[in-house]
Amino acid sequence: MLKELEVIGYKYRDINEMFKQKIISSEAVAIILKWLPSVYADHLGAGDQLVRSLIAAGEPFDSTLLIDLIERPEFNFSIKGGMAIVLSYAKTNDISDWLRDQLLNKPYALERIGLIPGLEKKVALKHRMS
């Protein structure tokens, strides 16, 4: 993954360095999303840090992969909670319907607490614009 990022002009020593970026380009986000399942499979902590780097995405990105990952039973509430925070704060495609469903129709789950900020940021914004 780091080599692919270097090809498009981003040189990082490690995932921690990516996490500290203020803005990540859409090209870099696409590479991160491509590699995210593999990174999680190799090391949960590295995957968690990598997913949190997506908060710095400069442009909205397709959050389908994150939604798929958060719904997997093999991840614990801590890992899913990190994904939830990213889905709430990062610039994503419109996930307002999914957020509303998760928080209003699904049974309580600790990891969903991270989705609460997204209600105001993403769901309320959609309703104000319509």
Q: What pTM does this model have?
A: 0.85
C-alpha–C-alpha distance, residues 2 and 83, integer Å: 21
Q: Which helix (H) or strand (E) holds 127?
A: helix 125-129
pLDDT class for 16, splitting at 50, 70, 90?
confident
Whole-number percent of the chain with pLDDT over 70? 94
Average pLDDT over residues 48-58: 94
Average pLDDT over residues 46-51: 92
Outline where 8-124 has alpha helix (H): 15-19, 26-42, 44-53, 64-70, 77-89, 96-104, 116-118
Q: Where are the domains of the chain?
A: 2-129
Q: What is the pLDDT of residues 86-114, one digit of tens each?
A: 999 999 999 988 988 988 898 888 888 88
CA 120 remoteness from chain centre? 17
The better pLDDT of the pair 5, 123 is held by 5
C-alpha–C-alpha distance, residues 30 and 5, integer Å: 10
What pLDDT does 124 receive?
61
**Position 83, amino acid:** M
pLDDT class for 127, splitting at 50, 70, 90?
low
Question: pLDDT averaged over the chain?
Answer: 87
CA distances, 17 to each of 14, 53, 115, 118 (Å): 6, 9, 26, 26
Burial (0-12, 13-18, 19+ Cβ within 10 Å), 87: buried
What pLDDT does 34 receive?
96
**Position 98, amino acid:** W
